[in-house]
Amino acid sequence: GQQVKQSSPSLTVQEGGISILNCDYENDMFDYFAWYKKYPDNSPTLLISVRSNVDKREDGRLTVFLNKSGKHFSLHITASQPEDTAVYLCAAGAGGGSAKLIFGEGTKLTVSS
Amino acid sequence: GPKVLQIPSHQIIDMGQMVTLNCDPVSNHLYFYWYKQILGQQMEFLVNFYNGKVMEKSKLFKDQFSVERPDGSYFTLKIQPTALEDSAVYFCASSLDRGSGNTLYFGEGSRLIVV
């Protein structure tokens, strides 16, 4: 089954607005949650991550919110800019010595000017 | 930032032949990964590798697949023989340590087309 799911394949936001990207997961054992950014024909790169012992983490314009009871986490990008246009991949990992990350399908964010 | 290099970037191969995808991981990293992304689908975990051994693998890591990193050279994914359903982009990644909290650094992918 699909353990990590991004239900919105695409999102368009006006420049200056807030982009909200959502991710749902199934596995209760996940304890690490991350967002990666990918440009076409480029490698995915880590944007921000959070452990399960916190429910929010901020880094500049980026904030990750974690809702463990709802098995949901999200990425908020404030003051969205055209250069934020990319595919955003959510990922989760189970810890306990496991090194693998499970990725969602990705959401294509377009920031229009 | 740290770079993971993948060679080749593209390859077209006849079904049944062997292919080797090469990955040059970040120099001090100890954990290595392969992910597979079929067009239009999510990137799916294949395998990770540490200290000369496969640590974890998924159901997608068929018997025709093998990985190795001889003497600190390239980390390779070999498919022998290839099948049509192996057509995908294969992403290599490396991390400094294990545990899901460690950042994975990805290459740009090797696009494999099996005809």
Question: Can you give the residue ranges of every domain in chain A?
Answer: 4-112
Q: Which pLDDT belongs to residue B29?
A: 92
Q: Is A84 helix (H, G, I), strand (E, B) or coil?
A: helix
**Can you read off the two tokens belonging to residue B22?**
């090469």
Q: Which pLDDT belongs to residue B48?
A: 94
What topology does CATH give the domain B5-114? Immunoglobulin-like (2.60.40)
Tens-digit pLDDT profile for residues A7-34: 899 999 999 999 999 999 999 999 999 9
For B62-90, what is the mean pLDDT?
95
Q: Which pLDDT belongs to residue A1?
A: 55
Q: Which pLDDT belongs to residue B71?
A: 81
A104 touches chain B (CB under 8 A): yes
Rg (CA), chain A: 13
Q: Is B51 helix (H, G, I), strand (E, B) or coil?
A: coil
- The contacts of residue A22 (CB under 8 Å, 6+ apart) are A6, A7, A8, A72, A73, A74, A107
Q: Which pLDDT belongs to residue B70?
A: 87
* Nearest residue on chain B to A51, alpha-carbon basis: B101
Residues of B with CB under 8 A from a CB of A: 1, 4, 31, 33, 35, 41-45, 48, 50, 55-56, 91, 95, 98-109
- The contacts of residue B38 (CB under 8 Å, 6+ apart) are B87, B88
- Using DSSP bridges, classify how beta strands A86-93 and B10-13 pair: parallel, antiparallel or unpaired: unpaired
Mutate to test the interface with A, among B48, B53, B100 (most CBs of A within 10 A): B100
Range scoring the smallest mean pLDDT among A91-100, B27-36, B53-62, B100-109: A91-100
Residue A69 phi, psi dihedral angles, 5° rounding: -65, -35
A99 touches chain B (CB under 8 A): yes
At B14, the amino acid letter reads D
pLDDT confidence bin for B100, thresholds 50/70/90:
low
For B61-90, what is the mean pLDDT?
95
* Centroid of chain to Cα B61: 10
Residues of chain A with C-beta less than 8 angstroms from the C-beta of B4: 43
- Cα separation, B69 vs B67, whole angstroms: 7
Q: Which pLDDT belongs to residue A98?
A: 77
What topology does CATH give the domain A4-112? Immunoglobulin-like (2.60.40)
Q: Which pLDDT belongs to residue B14?
A: 98
Q: Which pLDDT belongs to residue B1?
A: 79
Across the interface, whether the CB atoms of B108 and A102 are under 8 A apart is answered no
Q: Which pLDDT belongs to residue B56?
A: 93
Rg (CA), chain B: 13
Domain residues of chain B, as ranges?
A: 5-114
Residues lower than pLDDT 50 in chain A: none
